[in-house]
Amino acid sequence: MSEPVTETLSVVVEREIPFPPEKIWRALTQPHLIQEWLMKNDFQPVVGHQFKLRTDPQPNWNGIIDCEVLTVEPNRKLSYTWVSGEAALAIKSVVTLSLTPTSTGTFLRMEQTGFRPDQPQNYQGAKYGWQHFFATLEQVVARAD
C-alpha cells in the first residue's frame, strides 16, 4: 500500500561562525543587511508581521516568497513562514534560525520544514504548485528540443 501522506520534509544547515550572536542577529533582522545576504525584503522583527522576500523573476516564478514572522527571541531564535510559488515548490514551509553562543563565536542553525504537496491541508498550495510544476516541465521539454 502507499505510505501515509503526513510526511514532512526538513532541511538543516548548520555553521560555526566566528562572530558573536548579537552581530549575526543584526544581519538576520535589519532589512538593509538581510538584503545583502538573503534577498530584498520588507522584514520587521515583529511577530505576525507579513513580508516578502524578492529576487529576480525567473521563468514561471515571479521571484517572490511570502513570509510571516512567527518567533522573535533577540539574539537566540527567529522563525518565519516561507511560501513560494516556485516549482517543487508548492511547498509551504517554516524557516527557523537559531543562534547558540560558543567559545569562538556562534553556532548558527537553519531548519526549514515543509509539507509534502500531497498533504490534504496544503491542497490549495499543491494545486497552485502543480500548475507551476507542469509549466516548468513544459519549458524544460521545449528547451531540450
Partner 1 sequence: MPDTHDVLFRTLADPTRRAIFERLCREGEQTVRALTVHAGVSQPAVSKHLGVLKQAGLVRDRHEGRQTHYRAQHRALAPLLDWTSHMVGFWQSRFDHLEDLLKRMDQ
- Contact positions vs partner 1 (CB under 8 A): 2-3, 9-11, 13, 15, 17, 19, 23-24, 26-27, 33, 36-38, 87-89, 91, 108, 110, 112, 114, 116-118, 127, 130, 133-134, 137-138, 140-141, 144
* Min dist. Cβ of residue 7 to partner 1 (A): 10
Nearer to partner 1, 48 or 144 (CB): 144
Nearer to partner 1, 33 or 47 (CB): 33
Nearer to partner 1, 51 or 133 (CB): 133
* Min dist. Cβ of residue 47 to partner 1 (A): 23
* Min dist. Cβ of residue 103 to partner 1 (A): 18
What's the per-residue H, E or C state across the chain? CCCCCCCEEEEEEEEEECCCHHHHHHHHHCHHHHHHHCCEECCCCCCCCEEEEECCCECCECCEEEEEEEEEECCCEEEEEEEECCHHHCCEEEEEEEEEECCCCEEEEEEEEEECCCCHHHHHHHHHHHHHHHHHHHHHHHHHC
* Min dist. Cβ of residue 44 to partner 1 (A): 19
Give the integer Cα–Cα distance in Å for 78 and 2: 36
Nearer to partner 1, 37 or 48 (CB): 37
